[in-house]
Structure 1
Amino acid sequence: MNVAPHILAIPFPAQGHVMPLMELAQKIAKHGFKVTFVNTEFNHSRVVNALSKNDDFGDGIRLVSVPDGLEPWEDRTDLGKLSESMLRVIPGKLEEIIQNVKNDVDDDNITCIIADSGVGWALEIAVKFSLTPVIFFPAAAAILAINLSIPKMLENGIIESDGTITKNQIIQLSPAMPAMDTKTFVWACFGDSATNKIMFEICMNCNTSAKLAKWILCNSSYELEPAVFTSLPEMLPIGPLSASNKLGDKPGSFWPEDLACLSWLDQQPDCSVIYVAYGSFTVFDQTQFQELALGLELTNRPFLWVVRPDMTDNTNDVYPEGFKERIGSRGKMVSWTSQVKVLRHPAIACFLSHCGWNSTSEGVSNGVPFLCWPYFADQLFNQTYICDVWKVGLRCDKDDTGVVNKGEIKNKIDQLLGDSNFKARAMNLKEKVVNSVSEDGSSNKNLSNFIKCLKKLH
């Protein structure tokens, strides 16, 4: 009997973590593997409800769900509380899944666990059941490098034992790596000290899981972060996974995708549209939301704006009075869309983005310049890559009241689109990134070698 290698894939329960791990699962499944993909019950229902009739996760992928330990009405954007709750509940449920598969005579035993770094504790379960332990890091490799440097930073007094930054300073983890501002460390950017401390513990746990892992897979490429991968050869760049996604279909979305905007884009001139999207977490108060709307209006350029139902802290119509009537067909607002398909469209001129790593890698994979507006976590460091290292974007600066005002938005867009060097550098970076995932590219070879090794282990 021919037994297929069987993998248990476990993402951290956030949109920006579920989708890249699903992309990896699809690539692995195409090589004859079975993949059991574990979402929380809350996110599982969102993914299933968002599916269209044409969506297909592919042969070999089975979706299962586990409770996250929170009540249905509790806030799952509180990542600290969510992480603590998951750790109490999910490990036991994963052990049940592994045991149930083992007891099923018609199924192939699970042989490997691929766990998102945010749930790195799952590798302890892999070791317990003698399964191959693999970490998947969906963000920039530089962020993992920061996590792995925590013991040294503690020793040098740069941070305290709870992750508190002793003083804001610029450091370099190695001479070739980009300079890092300590106030942009991932765990220091969540807005309240309690959440910061919980997220610091998660980052600390990266060290433990990295030591357990047989492989550390990164959704990045040598071409994007050469200094990091040179300094830390144990990290294996296999991305950006979205760059090799020929159709742009990305099952795993939490919201139904509005694809009608693609027809609207078809009607716009090439390189004319401002694409505005802030990911799955960003929330604006009414003042900031209205300044953004008025700034887009002031540009007098066409724009496509993704406005999630939960994007503002006000459930009423928060657009400025008369805004929709004044912009008419020049602007289009959608609740969610296929970002890869949008960014590949020739009408897109630039990307006003929160700088999440998925958005960052999707933008650079398509040669799109950025206007950066980070919200939290790794987004602040990704802005450093975009503006200071790759030089394919500009920052949005806040005024004295902490608001990015309408004049700033208009001026920065005019500056970005008025300088052809940004587009030229973006297209040059695109060529490097696309080459990395081509048949002979470094990321594609790494992924192929990883899959071959898994088969041999099996």
Structure 2
Amino acid sequence: MEPPNPPPPPPTTTSTTHIVAVPYPGRGHINPMMNLCKLLISNNPNIVVTFVVTEEWLTIINSDSPKPNNKNIKFATIPNVIPSEEGRGKDFLNFLEAVVTKMEDPFEKLLDSLETAPNVIIHDSYLFWVIRVANKRNVPVASFWPMSASFFLVLKHYRRLEEHGHYPVNASEVGDKRVDYIPGNSSIRLQDFPLHDASLRSRRLLELALNNMPWMKKAQYLLFPSIYEIEPQAIDVLREEFSIPIYTIGPTIPYFSHNQIASLSTNQDVELDYINWLDNQPIGSVLYVSQGSFLTVSSEQIDEIANGLCESGVRFLWIMRGESSKWKDICGEKGFVLPWCDQLRVLMHSAIGGFWSHCGWNSTREGLFCGVPFLTSPIMMDQPLNSKYIVEDWKVGWRVEKKVKDDVLIRRDEIARLVRRFMDLGDDEVKEMRKRARELQQICQSAIASGGSSENNMKAFLGNILHGSKQ
């Protein structure tokens, strides 16, 4: 049972509450922030949201399908932090530094130009300067951490690695060495810590990430797109370490209430080719493969994955950016390759029996919510730790790369063997893993049901912001 946050005042007001929401300019941050805003509005129609994005991202959002469509949400823009032709993914460090240093002034000017001042600002925690802006204006601010609560604690206590002589880490030397001194976490392989090497790039990225931590206690609320029952130890530790209210309001995926989960069924999408294809596959027979919308693996590894999938004989639906047309014909009748899909609808389809994922927190939450076991193939930042939680803590997945080793290709024959076994419905270990995935699915869906932990947290948070409470 989740320990309660301080109870909010009863929501008696019917006046309009203006929320300014400002996400980090990246898809994995914008989407959960938008889902949070829609969820808040669905709970109280008197909420209006000004959703602040860069000019580049407004163009991307307008071209997306389906487009956000809610009369209570209006978009406002600030200039791009770097020229769009340089690309967000070409120099991630430069982009992150620009987000930290160049967004604050135009955001302040935007606030000055609004017809109605905000009652509360919800910001992505990586934009720590929003707290400074909000506190200066005496506006309550809710910090929305876009990753897991467990990973938050890893960053908060990262200096302990230095104190114990475990940073930086040479992966080829430490092997499977583990540490058990990070609060709220079970033992962690040193290899799974983010940015653990001594490169200048990793050191700077780590510095930028750690700079957020001291600001969190200066917010009025701390929000996590997670579920208490999934991360109880981490949430309990956070509530001991912070005096401000902490709310788990996950999974912050595109649903509005427990009763509307059924609306995510594939019945609405029968005209889509990939849904038609899934409809014609046996239950639990398809491996869904998606490795995120931003970071990617090498082209050599993509070739090995593609050939391994084809050689496995397993049915698969693969989201591949850039080279999807190249592999469409090569993969044959058992493989469906395309550049984009509605991931949540796909994961909820009865034909899906597994999810090969890069383990971004958005994909991790969606996979848990849909009761799908994972093959984990993390790339960087929180992804290796999410993989650890999936495999070791929740026991709903296997690592593609099981041993800690230098950066080498995972060969197609190894991939083919792994995929065949992972999708073998008769394998006892696979049966147990699928059973556990269904149990976690029930936990997630109970959390958003009436009286569930996420619903209670959402009501408590709403009760505070609707009354302009600043704690």
Partner residue in 2 for 1:406: 412
* Larger displacement relative to structure 2 (363-372 or 406-415): 406-415
1:113 is the counterpart of 2:136 = no
What secondary structure does 2:391 align onto?
Answer: helix
Q: Please name the residue that 1:238 is paired with.
A: 249
1:441 aligns with 2:452: yes
The corresponding residue for 2:379 is 375
**Distance in 2 between the 1:41 and 1:243 partners?**
24
**How high is the sequence identity, in percent, across the aligned residues?**
29
1:45-91 Cα shifts (integer Å, max 9, x gaps): 11111144xx4432311112212331222131232211211233211
What is aligned with 1:141? 149
Deviates more, 1:228-237 or 1:424-433: 228-237
2:4 maps to none
- Equivalent residue for 1:33, pick from 47, 69, 73: 47
CA distance in 2, matches of 1:18, 1:400: 33
Q: CA deviation at 1:141?
A: 0.6
The aligned counterpart of 2:105 is: 92
Unaligned runs of 5+ in 2: 1-12, 266-270, 425-429
Aligned-pair CA distance for 1:122: 1.1
Alignment partner, residue 314 of structure 1: none
Answer with 387-396 or 58-67: which moved more. Answer: 58-67
Paired position in structure 1 for 2:7: none
Residue 416 of structure 1 deviates from its aligned partner by: 2.0
Partner of 1:265: 278
The 8 Å contact of residues 36 and 62 in structure 1, kept in 2 or not, is answered as yes
Q: Spell out, residue by residue over 1:186-235, the C-alpha distance to the aligned partner (whole angstroms, 9 max, x if none).
A: 3338xx83332332223222222211111110011111111111211243
Aligned to 1:290: 303
Which residue is 2:391 aligned to?
A: 387
TM-score (norm 1): 0.87
Say which of 350, 353, 360 aligns to 1:349: 353
Whole-angstrom distance in 2 between the partners of 1:152 and 1:328? 51
Deviates more, 1:146-155 or 1:286-295: 146-155
Matched to 1:228, the amino acid is A
- Structure 1 residues 97 and 195 mapped into 2: Cα distance closer, same or farther (>3 Å)? same
Indicate which of 286, 289, 311 corresponds to 1:276.
289
1:240-281 alpha-carbon deviations (Å, 9 max, x no partner): 1227453449xxxxxxxx943112111111111110101112
Give the 3 Å change call, closer, same or farther, for CA 310–93 of structure 1 in structure 2: farther
Q: Distance in 2 between matches of 1:12 and 1:193?
A: 25
Alignment partner, residue 324 of structure 1: 329
| Residue number in structure 2 paired with 1:188 | 196
Give how far 1:156 is off.
Answer: 5.0
Judge conservation of contact 1:41–1:68 (CA < 8 Å) in 2.
yes
2:22 aligned partner: 10
Query: Pick from 458, 463, 466: which aligns with 1:452?
Result: 463
Aligned residues, how many? 428
The answer to whether structure 1 residue 66 and structure 2 residue 81 are counterparts is no
Cα deviation per residue 1:381-423 (whole Å; 9 max; x = unaligned)?
Answer: 0110111111111111288771121122222222223321111
Amino acid at match of 1:365: F
Q: Specify the SS of the correspondent of 2:70.
A: coil
Residue identity opposite 1:48 in structure 2: N
- Identify if the C-alpha distance between structure 1 residues 144 and 109 changes in structure 2 by more than 3 Å, giving closer, same or farther: same
**Contact 1:259/1:337 (<8 A) preserved:** no
Give me the TM-score of the superposition, normalised by structure 2.
Answer: 0.84
Aligned equivalents of 1:110 and 1:243: distance in 2? 25
Read off the aligned partner of 2:126 and give its amino acid letter. Answer: G
Secondary structure of residue in 2 paired with 1:350: strand
1:394–1:412 contact (8 Å) kept in structure 2: no
The 2-side partners of 1:154 and 1:125 are apart by 32
**CA distance 1:100–1:401, change in 2 (3 Å):** closer
Letter in 2 for 1:28: L
Amino acid at match of 1:293: A
Taking the aligned partners of 2:461 and 2:183, their CA distance within structure 1 comes to 30
Distance in 1, Cα, partners of 2:252 & 2:52: 20
Structure 1 residues 2 and 421, CA, compared in 2 at 3 Å: closer, same or farther?
closer
Q: 3-state SS of the aligned residue for 2:82?
A: coil
Q: Which residues of structure 1 form unaligned runs of 5+?
A: 250-257, 312-316
Whether the aligned pair in 1 keeps the contact of 2:227 and 2:444 (CA below 8 Å) is: yes
Aligned-partner residue type, residue 141 of structure 2: P
Match 2:56 to one of 42, 52, 61: 42
Task: Establish whether residue 215 from structure 1 lines up as the match of residue 221 from structure 2.
Answer: yes
The 1:310/1:129 distance shift into structure 2, 3 A limit, reads farther
Contact 1:68/1:82 (CA < 8 Å) preserved in 2? no
Asked if 1:125 corresponds to 2:133, the answer is yes
Compute the RMSD of aligned alpha carbons.
2.5
CA distance in 2, matches of 1:371, 1:445: 32
In 1: Cα distance, 2:32 partner to 2:253 partner:
8
C-alpha change, 1:401 and 1:145, in structure 2 (3 Å) is closer
